[in-house]
Amino acid sequence: MLLDEKYDPDTGIRTQSMMLNMGPSHPAMHGVIRIILELDGETVVNSDVEIGYLHRAFEKEAETVRWNQVFPYTDRLNYVSPVINNVAYALAVEKLLGIDVPERAKYIRVIMSEISRIFDHLTCLGPMAMEMGAMTVFLYCMKAREWLQELIEDVTGARLTVSYLRVGGLKSDLPEGFEEKALDALRRAEEVIDEINRLLTRNRIFYDRTKHVGVISQEEAISYGFTGPLLRATGIEYDVRKAHPYLVYDRMEFEVPSGANGDTYDRWLVRIEEMRQSIRIIRQAIDQMPEGPTHIKDAPELVPGWLMVDKAKAGETEDVARLKVEADPTLDGSQKDFAPYIKADDRRVVLPPKEETYGNIEGLMNHFMLIMHGHGIRPPLGETYMAVESPNGELGFYIVSDGTDRAYRVRVRPPCFYLMQALPRLIQGHMVADVIPIFGSINMIAGEQDR
């Protein structure tokens, strides 16, 4: 569409700027963003960014279900690194309750968060490179990403929507042999990171298309509310893990990578180095993680339920302690030995293992009070804010409790939202082709942004 004609009296030339829709069907817009561009030839004169294509009322949904039922919804915020969303929400509710999770659970949360961070950065850098023609780098990133995806699947049982955390702990402990498999996957991923760095960072075409492109100053970045790699690319070394340590990050030795120019090239470099630092953190966490069982030892003898009942009626109870009822799979517990290592010792919050729920009246009552309508977890009256360092910046949850079994108000601070509001500023004056790498360097995740 052509806009009104403009006349330059100095040159006597009449020109018309053109209005162009880029997205939501444009491949580089991922189906969820529409940019209305005003172009002078191929130069972006002005633009308007339309979001909301993936809005699903996350915050209101979170206020209609119980505290633990929010985790599946948090998975769908930044769906590339859902574990970090789980961690942020769990920490906010635990802060409101005033509880602390076991040490092993803290280390596992850190390990899974950093694996997710690497996974997220690979998902950003690979497609960003592909959209500029570097298909080989994309394939290498996807190869390394799959190794990390397998680790996440081994631990959580899912590849995408993991729902791994619980208020007060974790769904389950690490599987047997996870440490060795993780260290091997990280070694191979580190080799791939070095390889894509050699392939692209000094590539002349890539350098020319990203250096001094999409520049933003420190002052502007702060005014827009930037956090994460985009803020650090301007030279400001703000990282929630360092500025406001949570879990066990204060025990970890790692650097906060930063740039100097605030351009697309520096955002690439910052993310490359952040992946190396995440690998460094995971190795330290695995080394420091306290001991705890990863499998059941000395498995008890399985007997049919009717046999145990008959023995009890006959007064033959001396060997009951070493027996286990052969129950239906839906009733068969497996967490009793693990619970002390991954869950807070707080009956107000944590569901008892199934062995206790179906094995004694106290466990049954505890389960009933946490599950039945009108009961459940009941944080005290109050409000809190808790933030973590997500792959895109500061991810925060502001929660208000009215003392019932569900939140009165849930508000999430999505880092992508603040980055995207600066997109018109970042692309102004650049060519249409430059919109692609600039937008790719933001790493916009619509589920997080639109909520």
CATH number of residue 206's parent domain:
1.10.645.10
On whether both 203 and 130 belong to a single domain, the answer is yes
What is the pLDDT, as a whole number, of residue 110?
93
pLDDT tier at 194 (50, 70, 90 boundaries)? very high
Region 427-435: mean pLDDT is 88
Residue 86: the pLDDT is: 93
Residue 450 CA to residue 438 CA, distance in Å, equals 20
Least confident of 90-104, 226-240, 295-309, 433-447: 295-309
Q: Is residue 267 part of a domain?
A: yes
State how many domains the chain has: 2
Q: Is 205 found in the same domain as 75?
A: yes
- Say if residue 344 is in the same domain as residue 394: no
pLDDT grade, residue 186 (50/70/90)? very high
443 vs 336: which has the higher pLDDT: 443
CB contact at 8 A, 77 and 451: yes
Q: Would you say residue 37 lies in a domain? A: no
- Report the phi/psi class of residue 218: left, alpha or beta, with left for phi > 0 and alpha for psi in -120 to 50: alpha
Structure tokens at 83: 């574990």
Q: Residue 331: what pLDDT? A: 63
Indicate if 107 and 192 belong to the same structural domain: yes
Question: Strand, coil or helix: what is 313?
Answer: helix
d(CA 147, CA 129): 20
Closest CA to 73 of 443, 397, 402, 416: 397
Helix (H, G, I), strand (E, B) or coil at 270: helix
- Tens-place pLDDT, residues 355-398: 788 778 888 888 888 887 667 788 889 999 999 999 998 999 99
Six-digit token string for 238: 């703000």
**Which domain covers residue 248, as residue numbers?**
58-292+384-450
Q: Please, are residues 256 and 232 in contact by the beta-carbon 8 Å criterion? A: yes
Say yes or no: 278 and 308 in one domain. Answer: no
Mean pLDDT of all residues in 411-429: 89
The pTM of this model reads 0.86
Tokens (6 digits) for 351: 């569901």
